[in-house]
Amino acid sequence: MIDYWVKITEKEEDEIRRHHYLVTAADEREARRVAMDFVRHFCDEDDDPEVIKDGYSFFNRAVTVQITDIRETTREEFKDFLLKIHTIQWK
């Protein structure tokens, strides 16, 4: 099994949030399928999201969630990235 770094962009009005996930799959096609299934359930309150390119829109297109990148990675590389963005460097 291969580890894939999945980058997801969530847009709501003028606000953009970026999310990063690690998916373990046999190949990139399976990783994309798993990620799309995850994105479909991103907003639990909307039971019938609309399919858009690389993702779904929720609440009559008020919120869009799309896969922006999938690439092969290692768990160490992914953990290093998470530590980097969640570590406060003070002075």
Torsion angle (degrees, nearest 10) of CA 47, 16, 19, 52: 40
pLDDT computed for residue 64 by the predictor: 95
Tens digits of per-residue pLDDT, 53-69? 999 999 989 999 999 99
In the chain, where are the structural domains located? Answer: 2-85
Work out the widest C-alpha separation in the chain, in whole angstroms.
Answer: 48
Summarize pLDDT for 33-49 with one digit per residue, the tens: 999 999 999 888 888 89
Three-state SS at 13: coil
Measured CA to CA, the distance from residue 15 to residue 80 in angstroms comes to 26
